[in-house]
Chains A and B, each alone.
Chain A
């Protein structure tokens, strides 16, 4: 097929698909100039396959527009660094940690900095003067007078002006719902709603994460930002709502997640382990999951107060 540098305003030596994509993106930008119109017409008439590639590119463009159906009319997800005024210092930080009522009482240690740890259950929301923090299972949180630090595991922060969260080398000022996860080598932060300002320790460049945006920092590398698709966001946020959302996941993997959150352990026989399910479950009700597996997969169930065995 003949290749022509003039086929597209954007791509030289392009294949028909590349040129068609270039023209589709160019048409999306605004009306063509007379010269461009002529170039497009010339390219289309050169070869019937150019017409086909162009029709196909436009069809793909339309298909991708379906993504908007899932997306509310929210603000853009990504904003780049902007220097913002320093946050006001709050001198009086209510010692709210002492007053929290917990579903699964996290172990609290120390005084000036309260350390909360969770085992196989979510914590109830821990109140601070500027919002609440819910800890995932097997997580550790240090709550200080002016800020809190996620030491390991995951937490969900519902913050308002004044809330300061730290994890790894990052410092967050969330005004809305923020999901944080922290391992020794990686910190991941996801803005679920509202906006989250953040900066690296020892720097004064503030970034803004808007709803749907996620930032990942590996070790000492520069943080990477990306936008999440709405379904990805729902799936990542599910645990903080007490839900387990699985898409085409194996029984073994689902059972192991339930077992992290519950005393009552689910055992899946090897024959069932690789079967896959999709659905939304309540994290604290492994019985619901066992009943579903019975109905859908025809599995048999043996129950004791401590275990649910599917085979």
Chain B
């Protein structure tokens, strides 16, 4: 599974990651489960899937999580009645995305930019040099006159920061009707 990470990571990055905030918001309603654990297990299940056959990745992600929550309850000795009732009544998470809750690629790009803008200055500079400008870790270190170990640690730090941001990305990743950018198509650029 982990040998084929390139194509798999791209698929997860493109089709799953943007929906994570929404799925986590749904998982948070179940007070007695650890959302992180469910999400991590879901990534393992989804990495093994036949990606070409997944027509609606968001619904697929939601149903994988729902099954894992069910498994969790089956294993648990005591299951709160409220959680079971919620589980049976709940169909929100795997509903087809409505027009109001579509993640736009542009919206995700803005989310990334905003998140990176919040990184501490040095961490941000290193991350931008490496990921946006394509310098190797060695080149980043030479450019900033710091050791390669510092570059590696700061990149890891940026990744953790992004990871937390994706976990809480429900609000930023979705565009409701009133806030949807309306004039993006009419942007004029100076030649």
Residues in A lying within 8 Å of B, measured CB to CB:
8, 10-11, 16-18, 21-22, 24-26, 28-30, 44, 48-68, 70-71, 73-74, 76-80, 224-227, 229, 231-232, 241, 243, 247-248, 276-280, 282, 292, 296
Contact = CB atoms under 8 A, between A and B. Distances in A.
B102 interface: no
A231 B110 CA distance: 9
Contacts of B145: 80
B133 A71 contact: yes
Interface string B93-134: 000000000000000111011001100010011011111111
B44 A229 contact: no
Contacts of B187: 279-280
Contacts of A59: 9, 12-13, 16-17, 43
Contacts, number: 198
B159 A60 contact: yes
A278 B182 CA distance: 6
A227 B123 CA distance: 11
A21 B163 contact: yes
Interface string B130-143: 11111101000001
B70 interface: no
Interface stretch (B33-41, B51-59, B74-82, B83-91): B33-41
A57 B159 contact: yes
Contacts of A78: 125, 129, 143-144
Given A28-B155, A77-B133, 16 more contacts: A49-B36, A49-B40, A50-B40, A51-B1, A52-B44, A55-B8, A55-B44, A56-B43, A60-B13, A60-B17, A60-B159, A63-B17, A63-B112, A68-B134, A225-B125, A279-B184
B125 A226 contact: yes
Nearest to A81: B145
B134 A56 contact: no
